[in-house]
């Protein structure tokens, strides 16, 4: 709030001037002594430039107050706009989460980070299975107009290929989106943290003993053999991992859960596999019982494979590669556009 200073030049006032309001502090009519009424008021507004520092007659002081209030509001609006333009985000990522407890752990870590970084939007996401997926979380931050996103991989140990495919898949998502994207950064791996020694000591101190007794109930339980006629394998070979196979796996698994693919149609089981062979077509997915190879697979390709092949029984030729006895190169991808949220 602006401050008013009344320590300024005085004007002589005739003796025994009656209080205009007629009442003083004691509730009685009082008179003012010479020098009690200031002739000028020095007005100071916080954050104002030098030209706004004035000494004016009392009758004009309110004008300056109103003008400076407008200035302060305009300055606040500019500051707020700058804060919007510089909106930062921190995205904590883990590989997967199936149950509610891991999601609760991630939410707790988000709260811890939010206390340390009150200036940033803090979210979490998963790279292999779980919601929100990394892709969905990033697209949401893009839609919110964030200018900087710091990605924190909560992965230990972190293979060198993890960061490689992470950077590659983010570049692909960015090229497929016509909206402006924030500046992206990836933090160093957890093992390199300067507080790792203290963290390990704290974990050792929290160790709990294991009950050696065997749970007989678990031994007596049986398992249901699923009635599923289709298999979708996602290659996890080196070239496919480098091309972002984990992101494809994450999208496939989340769609499997959302669409109930295990029990819908012929029933589909999804699984990771070792190298499927055509490395130069990475990332590769193979669908059985036909044994169809799909190359250069993206999230959009997975959506079509689910709808047209797994549920509809028709091979998606735009992404399919059939055995020809000759080497095949990856065809140019079809680039989709993301709808604006």
pLDDT digit string (tens) for 214-259?
A: 777 777 778 888 889 999 999 999 899 888 899 999 999 999 999 9
Q: Domain for residue 2, yes or no?
A: no
Give the pLDDT confidence score for residue 160 in this predicted structure. Answer: 84
Q: Domain for residue 292, yes or no?
A: yes
Same domain, 241 and 314: yes
Band the pLDDT of 337: cuts 50, 70, 90.
low
Give the pLDDT confidence score for residue 211 in this predicted structure. Answer: 87
Give the pLDDT confidence score for residue 206 in this predicted structure. Answer: 95
Residues paired with residue 320 on neighbouring β-strands, in sequence order: 294
Same domain, 241 and 289: yes
Give the pLDDT confidence score for residue 262 in this predicted structure. Answer: 93
Same domain, 100 and 175: yes
Give the pLDDT confidence score for residue 338 in this predicted structure. Answer: 52
Who contacts 190 (Cβ-Cβ below 8 Å, separation ≥6)? Answer: 153, 154, 155, 156, 158, 196
Same domain, 165 and 256: no
Identify which of 116, 106, 111, 194 has the alpha carbon closest to the alpha carbon of residue 153: 106
Give the pLDDT confidence score for residue 23 in this predicted structure. Answer: 44
Q: Domain for residue 131, yes or no?
A: yes
Q: What is the pLDDT of residues 14-26, one digit of tens each?
A: 444 444 444 444 4
Q: Is the pLDDT of residue 341 over 80?
A: no
Who contacts 238 (Cβ-Cβ below 8 Å, separation ≥6)? Answer: 161, 275, 279
Same domain, 310 and 250: yes
Is there a contact between 5 and 44 (Cβ–Cβ < 8 Å)? yes
Q: How many domains does the chain have?
A: 3
What b-and-e string marks burial along 197-215, b requiring 16 or more CB atoms within 10 Å of the CB?
A: eeeeeeeeeeeeeeeeeee
Give the pLDDT confidence score for residue 69 in this predicted structure. Answer: 61
Same domain, 185 and 244: no
Q: What is the pLDDT of residues 287-296, one digit of tens each?
A: 999 999 999 9
Same domain, 102 and 156: yes
Give the pLDDT confidence score for residue 242 in this predicted structure. Answer: 87
Give the pLDDT confidence score for residue 212 in this predicted structure. Answer: 86
Task: Tell me the percentage of the chain whose pLDDT exceeds 70.
Answer: 72
| Domain range enclosing 237 | 230-321
Q: Domain for residue 250, yes or no?
A: yes
The structure's pTM equals: 0.64
Identify which of 169, 162, 191 has the alpha carbon closest to the alpha carbon of residue 94: 162
Same domain, 92 and 50: no
Give the pLDDT confidence score for residue 222 in this predicted structure. Answer: 80
Q: Which CATH number covers residue 126? A: 3.40.50.1400
Same domain, 114 and 80: no
Q: CA–CA separation, 306 vs 285, rounded Å? A: 12
Q: Domain for residue 223, yes or no?
A: no
Same domain, 108 and 186: yes
Q: Which CATH number covers residue 295? A: 3.40.30.10
Question: Dihedral, CA atoms, 293, 295, 299, 300, nearest 10 degrees?
Answer: -90
Task: Tell me the percentage of the chain whose pLDDT exceeds 90.
Answer: 58
Q: What is the pLDDT of residues 185-220, one digit of tens each?
A: 999 999 999 999 999 999 999 999 998 887 777 777
Q: Domain for residue 312, yes or no?
A: yes
Q: Report which of residues 13 and 302 the model is more confident about.
A: 302
Q: What is the pLDDT of residues 97-154, one digit of tens each?
A: 888 999 999 999 999 999 999 999 999 999 988 899 999 999 999 999 999 999 999 9
Same domain, 146 and 239: no
């Amino acid at each position: 709030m602006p401050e008013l200073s009344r320590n300024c030049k005085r004007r002589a006032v005739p003796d025994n001037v009656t209080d205009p309001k007629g009442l003083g502090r004691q509730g009685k009519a009082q008179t003012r002594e010479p020098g009690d009424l200031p002739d000028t008021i020095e007005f100071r507004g916080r954050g104002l430039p030098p030209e706004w520092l004035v000494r004016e007659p009392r009758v004009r002081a309110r004008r300056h107050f109103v003008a400076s209030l407008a200035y302060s509001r305009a300055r606040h609006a500019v500051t707020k706009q700058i804060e919007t333009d510089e909106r930062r985000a921190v995205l904590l990522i883990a590989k997967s989460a199936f149950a509610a407890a891991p999601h609760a752990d991630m939410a707790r870590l988000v709260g811890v980070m939010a206390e340390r970084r009150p200036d940033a939007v803090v979210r979490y996401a998963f790279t292999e299975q779980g919601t929100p997926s990394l892709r969905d979380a990033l697209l949401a931050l893009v839609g919110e107009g964030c200018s900087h996103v710091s990605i924190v991989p909560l992965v230990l140990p972190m293979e060198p290929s993890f960061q490689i495919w992470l950077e590659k898949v983010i570049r692909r998502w960015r090229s497929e989106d016509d909206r402006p994207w924030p500046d992206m950064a990836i933090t160093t791996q957890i093992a390199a943290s300067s507080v790792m020694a203290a963290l390990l000591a704290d974990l050792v101190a929290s160790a709990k003993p294991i009950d050696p007794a065997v749970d007989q109930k678990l031994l007596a339980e049986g398992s249901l053999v699923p009635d599923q006629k289709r298999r979708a394998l996602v290659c996890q070979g080196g070239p496919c991992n480098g091309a972002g196979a984990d992101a494809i796996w994450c999208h496939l698994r989340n769609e499997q859960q959302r669409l109930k693919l295990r029990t819908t149609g012929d029933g589909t089981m999804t699984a990771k596999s070792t190298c499927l062979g055509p490395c130069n077509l990475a990332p590769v997915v193979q669908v059985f019982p036909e044994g169809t190879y799909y190359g250069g697979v993206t999230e959009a390709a997975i959506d079509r494979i689910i709808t047209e092949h797994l549920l509809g029984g028709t091979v998606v030729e735009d992404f399919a590669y059939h055995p020809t006895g000759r080497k095949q190169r990856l065809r140019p991808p079809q680039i989709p556009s993301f709808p604006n949220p």
